[in-house]
A = this chain, B = another copy of it.
């Protein structure tokens, strides 16, 4: 959690220094992300993130320099290996990847691996048709998937109460005949336990679960955003007491906290250096990975492009 927080701060700093063109801060959501991802069994489970889930990447041990490549503008999906990381490529379509978790869970069920999928999405995403279709599919086929909604109060400038009719994403679960739970998203232990229980149930053939982790996006939507246009400082202040790190620190000794800070600082330093050492992408990669084998037309375009460079 502390690594996630310090890394988030570092990313914002890097954006201010012009290293990152933009960044979507996760501050305030560390418990939700770390607590849920820590519950995964990385030998058989798989996670489907959005664009603000760096805490999950931290908890899953993903190569964070490679993860941050998306913000360095090197590669949209990040440079980490999704297969070995058990984390799907970063996905910027709000709601879009939720059905992927359902499909993956169906694959796991067919293969009887005992693996479960977790899908990360926001309160805003819950309005998308895809999320409904995903929950309905998961309910019909009783798939091992956890729908993990971080209700952080906002979708850019729109507060949850003008986004989520009825006020609760977890409450939607009943309509699909599946489990639904709200948890304090700023209590890392509560999140961990709820997620682990849902994953266990999923493995045992108990079907899908919706978890709505109630949290708060303390920072702006992205570094280009100006929250002053839609919420007050008091609004934001109200959540500082509930800072997930403060909540967690209460359960730890001062020494533990100091050690954690030291560890986080070391990790962040390493990542900073890793980012500095990151090579700009090879321009020829413009033509890579479109198909398994490039088509003739693409090779022709690549040839023309090379010629225009040499000209």
Contacts and interface: CB of A to CB of B under 8 A. Distances in A.
Interface string A243-262: 00000000000000000000
A166 B180 CA distance: 13
Interface stretch (A135-143, A267-275, A288-296, A298-306): A135-143
Dominant secondary structure of chain A at its interface with chain B? helix
A100 interface: no
A31 B290 CA distance: 54
Contacts of A166: 139, 174-178
A175 B172 contact: yes
A8 B233 CA distance: 64
Interface string A144-181: 00000000000000000011111110011111111000
A133 interface: yes
A139 B127 contact: no
A139 to B, nearest CB: 3
A105 to B, nearest CB: 14
Nearest to A177: B166
A228 interface: no
A6 interface: no
A53 B17 CA distance: 62
A138 B165 CA distance: 8
Interface of A: 127-133, 135-140, 162-168, 171-178
The 5 A-B residue pairs with the shortest CB-CB distance in the complex, in nearest-first order: A129-B129, A139-B165, A166-B177, A132-B132, A172-B175
